[in-house]
Amino acid sequence: MAPTPLTTAVEARLRRLDADEVIARIWARDPTVWSPDPAVPELADRLGWLDLPATMDDAAREAVALADDIRRTCDRVVLCGMGGSSLAPEVLWRTFGARGGYPKLVLLDSTHPASVRAAAPAEALARTTFLIASKSGTTIETASFEEYFWERTDRRGAAFIAVTDPDTALATRARTRGYRTVLSPPDVGGRFSALSPFGLVPAALMGIDPHALLARGRAAAEACRKPAGENPAARLGVLMAEGALQGRDKLTLLLDDRLASFGLWVEQLVAESTGKHGRGVLPVVGEWPDELTGKERDRVFVLRGLAAGADAPLTRAAERLSTHGGPVDAASLDDPSMLAAEFFRWEFATAVAGAVLEVNPFDQPNVAESKANTARVLRSGGAAVPPDPPAAVHDWIAAVRGGDYAAVMAFLPPSPEIDARLATLRRALARRTGVAVTIGYGPRFLHSTGQLHKGGPPRGHFLQIVDGGGGDLPIPGAAYGFGRLIAAQADGDREALRARGRPVLRIADFAALLAEVEG
């Protein structure tokens, strides 16, 4: 196939990376790869993820011992976390599935009262362990979950495990309350923490061998030491970044069913790392191969299958997309443990993409804005912003232009039923607008694509779906409950988007909205 402008740019960039010794400089922890000022916050002190495959064996042994102890008295683990503290465990749980003799993993990263209530019903409390995972130890969602379940368990410290950085507020509470505690290296950012205790402890609790994950990670790390032209992660990172520089700033991930949750992890890693200063790469998850032609001029395509033969439909899709000129990165994973290799490969690729785009991939400057807005809304005690009429979606759709994207932000309790309704809405919106459509549950996406929504290219059109919270649920020690919290998070993000001139529509009647879009 004849070279395209993008493939030519990719090869030229790989040669430039080699000439500038960028790969060696990344491994040497040289912060000037990303900024001429090595003192930039959240840069030089965020490169510990490079060492994790080689240095986490002791943490893996600790995780296995902890899991062997927990499973004697526990058949459910509720992981309370947000973003990087919960997404890698979710990928592992959904990919590996339940293992005999190990607890069921329940992931709680929604502040919707219905989700919090469902996470640990009264009859299950006695045999439930709560894994409180927070790098900072101050994340409002995780801290609220912790206080709620602390009271529900009658303040029984033996029912809790804390995974956090040293010297955090959570680490202090854990010591005071008698939690079992696992500390993670402080020089690893949340979204780069899949092979740290934030990933290894949940893996062990669900019966996955963390040593096998680390072995896969070590093999991937060795491959990432190769010169850029021979380095699979560098090539992926350059493809993403050069694609974005040429207007292909949507990264479509086509995954076989067993790997579907991997897209959620990639979403956070890539969007939150690159979406800054008006630049960025938007991962798009949930599209079906038959929706795509390869002629989409704002896309780069990534395809991942699991095990021999399982990805045959994706192989055919890759051939079709590349035939029509769509840039494609395709690979098959031999077994589920290869996810650990993909974790490291994508982390390294994202670091390379940040260097090419000239952004710091380890900070998240616009995430704090929505958090501050949420805190202000909670302090004000005012009523939530009222919804728009469902018919307003027609004017919202009419404003969408080629190369834009539509983001559906569902402040609803995650469930298979709502997943299906959102998938129907996504496909209907894609037909109506002709652009990429993303789906995110709030507040989870605030720790993920929310950074790109506000800091990335100004091409987004935002659709909030709210339901009033389903009745409030008190948070011990707080002047508000979970219903008020999720409403304030929706209001805070709406305010941050509107402050940047991003179009935001808020709908409360999901059924009427879908009827308007499909009509």
Provide the CATH number for the domain around residue 474. Answer: 3.40.50.10490
Supply 414's token pair: 């995650």
Q: What was the pLDDT predicted at 307?
A: 66
Q: Do 390 and 441 fall into the same domain? A: yes
Which alpha helices (DSSP H) does 254-335 contain, by range?
Answer: 262-274, 312-323
When pLDDT is cut at 50, 70 and 90, the band that residue 290 belongs to is confident
Length of the chain (residues): 519
- The alpha carbon of 77 is separated from its chain's Cα centroid by a whole number of angstroms, namely 21
Are residues 102 and 228 located together in one domain of the fold?
no
Check residue 381 and give its pLDDT: 78
**Distance of alpha carbon 466 from alpha carbon 357, whole angstroms:** 35
| Cα dihedral value 80, 108, 257, 236, nearest 10 | -50
* Residue 104 domain-assigned (yes or no): yes
- On whether the CB atoms of residues 59 and 163 are closer than 8 A, the answer is no
Q: Quote the domain boundaries for residue 242.
A: 5-33+224-357
**Position 56 in a domain:** yes
Q: What is the pLDDT of residue 334?
A: 86
Cis upstream peptide for 474 (omega within 30°): no
Least confident segment among 57-71, 349-363, 372-386: 372-386
Report whether 292 contacts 301 (CB < 8 A). Answer: yes
Edge-to-edge strands of the sheet including 405-411? 436-441, 405-411, 460-466, 504-507
Residues 196, 57 share a domain: yes
* Percentage with pLDDT > 90 across the chain: 85
Write down the pTM of the prediction.
0.96
Same domain for 59 and 110: yes
Q: Are residues 60 and 173 in the same domain?
A: yes
Assess whether pLDDT exceeds 60 at residue 311: no
In the chain, the number of structural domains is 3
Domain boundary among 160, 187, 214: 214
Q: Is residue 282 part of a domain?
A: yes
- 405 Cβ contact partners less than 8 Å away, ≥ 6 residues apart: 250, 282, 284, 435, 436, 437, 438, 459, 460, 461
What number of other Cβ atoms are within 10 A of residue 485's Cβ?
26
Task: Report the amino acid identity of residue 178.
Answer: G
- Residue 132 pairs with which residues in a beta bridge? 80, 162
**Mean of pLDDT over the chain:** 94
pLDDT band at 250 (very low <50, low <70, confident <90, very high): very high
Residue with tokens 């390379």: 352
Q: Say if residue 309 is in the same domain as residue 401.
A: no
Q: Is residue 38 part of a domain?
A: no
Q: Kindly state whether residues 256 and 396 are assigned to the same domain.
A: no
3 state DSSP class of 144:
helix
Q: Are 407 and 460 in contact (CB under 8 A)?
A: yes
Q: Give the HSE-up count for residue 280: Cα atoms under 13 Å, Cβ half-sphere.
A: 31
Q: How far apart are CA 167 and CA 361, in angstroms?
A: 25
Q: What band does 489 get if pLDDT is binned at 50, 70 and 90?
A: very high
Question: Rounded to whole angstroms, how far apart are CA atoms 61 and 113?
Answer: 36
Establish how many alpha carbons lie within 13 A of residue 398's alpha carbon, considering only the half-sphere containing its beta carbon: 5
Burial 312-334 (b: 16+ CB within 10 A, else e): eebeebbebbeeebbbbbbbbbe
Q: Are both 430 and 386 inside the same structural domain?
A: yes
Tell whether 127 is covered by a domain. yes
Where a domain ends, among 357, 381, 414?
357
Q: Residue 7 CA to chain centroid, in angstroms?
A: 28
Distance CA(447)–CA(282), nearest Å, equals 14
Residue 247 has pLDDT above 80, yes or no: yes
Q: Which two tokens stand for residue 109?
A: 């990263």
Of 422 and 296, the one with more pLDDT: 422
Strand order in the sheet with 299-306: 282-285, 250-255, 299-306, 328-333
Asked if residue 152 and residue 83 are part of one domain, the reply reads yes
CA distance 226 to 328: 22
Predicted confidence at residue 292, as pLDDT, reads: 87
Give the Cα separation of 148 and 169 in Å (integer). 17
In a domain, 39, yes or no: no
d(CA 513, CA 261): 26
Alpha-carbon gap, residue 302 to 236, rounded angstroms: 9
Least reliable range by pLDDT among 125-139, 176-190, 252-266, 377-391: 377-391
What is the predicted pLDDT for the residue at 455? 96
Of 374, 372, 446, 368, the C-alpha closest to 410 is 446
219 within domain boundaries: no
- Chain centroid, CA 110 distance in Å: 13
Residues 378-389, buried b or exposed e (16+ Cβ, 10 A)?
A: beeeeebbebbe
Structure confidence at residue 25 (pLDDT): 98
Residues 378 and 429 reside in one and the same domain: yes
Contact 306, 96 (CB under 8 A): no
Query: Is 44 part of a structural domain of the chain?
Result: no
Amino acid found at 269: L
- What residues contact residue 202 under an 8 Å CB cut-off, 6+ apart? 77, 79, 88, 89, 92, 93, 105, 131, 133
Judge contact between 214 and 57, C-beta under 8 A.
yes
Q: Which of 195, 214, 233 is the last residue of a domain?
A: 214
Using alpha carbons, select from 443, 379, 369, 507 the residue that is nearest to residue 111.
Answer: 443
Q: What pLDDT score does 370 carry?
A: 80
Lowest mean pLDDT: which of 107-121, 295-309, 413-427, 451-465?
Answer: 295-309
Query: What 8-state DSSP symbol labels residue 75?
Result: S
From the CB of residue 307, how many other CB atoms can be counted at a distance below 10 Å? 14
One domain, residues 241 and 139: no
- Specify whether 11 is located in the same domain as 102: no
